[in-house]
Structure 1
Amino acid sequence: MSTPTVLFVCVHNAGRSQMAAGYLRAFAGERVRVLSAGSEPADSLNPVAVAAMAEEGIDIAGAVPELLDPDAVRASDVVITMGCGDSCPVFPGTRYEDWELADPAGRDLETVRGIRDEIRARVEALVADVLAE
């Protein structure tokens, strides 16, 4: 069986998608290839998202927002968009999910912790699901 690829997409690739990617890397290790991108990538990560993940022992500070590339979508087994209505290219045979999540941009740490915890629960379920296939 080949290693499944999961792509997380949000507009700025600076908060939600980076937190989800951080969790998936931490939970699945080398068993899943993890990508994240944005339709309009920010210049840098949301520092509050970085701080919220650091509380979990996951360092995403070195991640860089990347522009969504149709080839990344084509190469992915699962594409997860983050409640931001992204226009994502659709390819047959690719599984798509949309996670309705609040945008952590401009929010305080307490609010971002709630978003982080919701992402963690969804990623835990995703790991079990993707590795069971």
Structure 2
Amino acid sequence: MQPERGTLPDGRSSAELRAGGRVIVSSAGTDWPIRDPDGAPLEVVRAIRDEIKTRIQALITEIDAHQES
């Protein structure tokens, strides 16, 4: 099933993304070597989630620092 024109596969619209101010997209070519959580125990999935959160917070701090300079 194809998404409606002007929307992303998860249902968000282009307008919603523009209103957000920042959009960070992850792809298979990312520089973050993060383990695939598929089939992993819940405790491993939570550790992966926490690692992603930490990396995103650091990225936002870096982006903010560049905008201030």
TM-score calculated relative to the size of structure 2: 0.56
Asked if 1:33 is matched to 2:20, the reply is no
After superposition, the Cα gap between the structure-2 partners of 1:119 and 1:33, relative to the gap in structure 1 and judged at 3 Å, is same
Aligned-residue sequence identity (percent) comes to 42
After superposition, the Cα gap between the structure-2 partners of 1:124 and 1:112, relative to the gap in structure 1 and judged at 3 Å, is same
Bigger radius of gyration among the two: 2
Partner Cα separation in structure 2 for residue 103 and residue 117 of structure 1: 14
Ranked by relative contact order (alpha carbons within 8 Å, sequence separation 6 or more), the top structure is 1
> 1:113-128 counterparts in 2 under 5 A?
113-128=46-61
Q: 2:41 corresponds to which residue?
A: 108
Structure 2 residue identity aligned to 1:111: V
Deviation at 1:37, TM superposition (A): 4.4
SS in 2 for 1:35: coil
Over the aligned positions, Cα root-mean-square deviation in angstroms equals: 2.2
Structure 2 residue identity aligned to 1:119: I
Bigger helix fraction: 2
How many residue pairs get aligned? The number is 48
Q: 2:7 corresponds to which residue?
A: none
TM-score calculated relative to the size of structure 1: 0.31
Partner Cα separation in structure 2 for residue 37 and residue 122 of structure 1: 15
Structure 2 stretches lacking a partner, 5+ long: 1-18
Q: 1:99 corresponds to which residue?
A: 32
Deviation at 1:113, TM superposition (A): 0.2
